Chains A and B, each alone.
Chain A
Amino acid sequence: MAACHWERKVTTYFDQETVEKDAVETHLLVCADCREHLDILETVRQYTTEVRENTPKIRDEQMPAFMRGIEDALAEAPVKSHKSLWAMLSLVTAALVMAVATFSIFTGPGPAKATEIESVSTELEGATVEWYDMDNGVTTVWINVSEDDVW
């Protein structure tokens, strides 16, 4: 259903801000929609007035007691619970794990060194042993055996 184009004027009339009071009242006599709109506005106002009246108010002489109640509540000692104990234990465990991990990182092996040959020898008659790093970086120990290997 389309609203009557007088609806805004009715609302203004309800707020007692209209200058067309007579015209609106004349229209209300002939327009059921606008009458219904006015009823709704009055109902809403009635409810909001009731809510406001039922809201407790703090009088000036009650204000110090009201504030004292808030301050007392804030000053109350926190309730002891095992949650703090668990939190502390978790914190200690986490700190320990962090310490161990940090220690492991900073005491771990350094950069890898190259393979080193400390000593070589052979008992093969006529054979020699040499060692070197090849172009691909692989350390190689090579036993040079004579061609006329009789072993």
Chain B
Amino acid sequence: MRKVLLLWLSVTLLPGVYASVLAQEASGDVPVKVSVWAVLATHEQREQPHFDRGLEVIRSTVSELRYDTYRHLNAIRQQSMKINDEYRLVVNDRYTLYIKPLACDDDGMIRLQLRMEMQPRDRDKEPVVVLQSRQVLSPNQKMIIGGPRLEDGDLVIVLEASK
């Protein structure tokens, strides 16, 4: 009798659970997973490109850039982010990246809003928005944001998102 009850419960609850998952996905409330690698990219006349530990994963992504040295600044891996919540990644004492997932579309594309702020050398001044962007990321495809000066090189951010 208990087996029958369990079976019927599973049969009746399964569609309900599945429907609620579909409804949640359709409403775009499912958190997305975001990975960010912030690196200092420099050109040091190396014969072979150098990647700090943990940065091998971005080697093919940045292969077209003109730098030969990539030094780790900060990173987040597969961090779950809720839609419409803003998350902050402190790159270093000058740059801060703000990430805000806006939606996860039915086709798996992830809409993100990014804001990169730079603290002027004069600490009394307000941070400057170096970049404000809005993009639709293809799931599991990395993109690059780069260019801001940093030390003797440039700041390069590699970004990836997935459901």
Residues on A lying within 8 angstroms of B by beta carbon are: 85, 89, 92-93, 96, 100, 109-110, 112-124, 127, 129, 134-136, 138-145, 149, 151
Contacts and interface: CB of A to CB of B under 8 A. Distances in A.
Contacts of B50: none
Given A100-B14, A119-B132, A143-B147, 11 more contacts: A92-B11, A112-B139, A115-B138, A120-B133, A123-B128, A123-B129, A140-B143, A140-B144, A143-B130, A149-B149, A151-B118
Nearest to A144: B147
Interface of B: 4, 7-8, 10-11, 14-15, 18, 60-61, 63-64, 106-109, 111, 118, 120-121, 128-149
A96 B147 CA distance: 54
A112 B146 contact: no
A145 B131 contact: no
Nearest to A141: B145
A133 B51 CA distance: 23
Contacts of A117: 133-135
Contacts of A119: 132-134
Contact of B142 (A93, A114, A124, A138): A138
B71 to A, nearest CB: 19
Contacts of A145: 147-149
A115 B149 contact: no
Q: Which of B15, B108, B111 has the most CB of A within 10 A?
A: B108
10 contacts: A89-B4, A89-B11, A134-B64, A138-B141, A138-B143, A140-B146, A142-B147, A143-B146, A144-B147, A145-B149
A144 B141 CA distance: 24
